[in-house]
Structure 1
Amino acid sequence: MNQTIEERIRTVAANIRKIREYRDYTQEYLAMKLGISQNAYSKIELAYTRITVERLIQISQILEVDSVDLLQSTSDELIRLHAGHSKTY
């Protein structure tokens, strides 16, 4: 994988968005769980805001995925990996 750092950041952001949508969670819901505004959360998904490892772990816990999967997988791979998992709030 020869992605630049910026491309990797955009991939992680896209993965977060894809799993959030798959789980039928709104941006408002994740923002509330993270203690931030919906606007601030939106900037995470758009890769306008760089997130810390701590924030990545928080997001992965809310989305019920392994943080490593968000870093290493494509959006389609993530959906296949988690297709059998229940969608719980």
Structure 2
Amino acid sequence: MARLALNIRRQREHLNYSQEYVAGRLNISQSGYSKIEQGASSINVERLYQIAEVLEITPKELLEDGKQENAA
């Protein structure tokens, strides 16, 4: 779960989106969204897809640990 939270935060920052902007797109509070990024709140599959859409990335990419990039 910590990897997912980290990937969500990194992608949001990569896009220069504020937590408030993403939370608004998800129709949740900024504090609720912050808990997702902190890994303090679990998310279901539907929410994962919503977050991925807002962050312009696939759910699979959000779940990856980055180790596949170095595999040959």
Normalised to the residue count of structure 1, the TM-score between the two structures is: 0.72
* Structure 1 unmatched ranges of 5 or more: 1-8, 78-89
For 1:85, the equivalent position in structure 2 comes to none
C-alpha root-mean-square deviation of aligned residues, in Å? 1.0
- Report Cα offsets for 1:21-44 as digits up to 9, x if no partner: 000000000000000000000000
1:47-62 maps to which residues of 2 (within 5 A)? 47-62=39-54
Work out whether 1:13 is the aligned partner of 2:5.
yes
Q: How many residues align?
A: 67
* Structure 2 unmatched ranges of 5 or more: none
Normalised to the residue count of structure 2, the TM-score between the two structures is: 0.89
Identity of aligned residues (%): 48
Work out whether 1:40 is the aligned partner of 2:44.
no
How far the C-alpha of 1:72 sits from its partner, in A, is 1.5
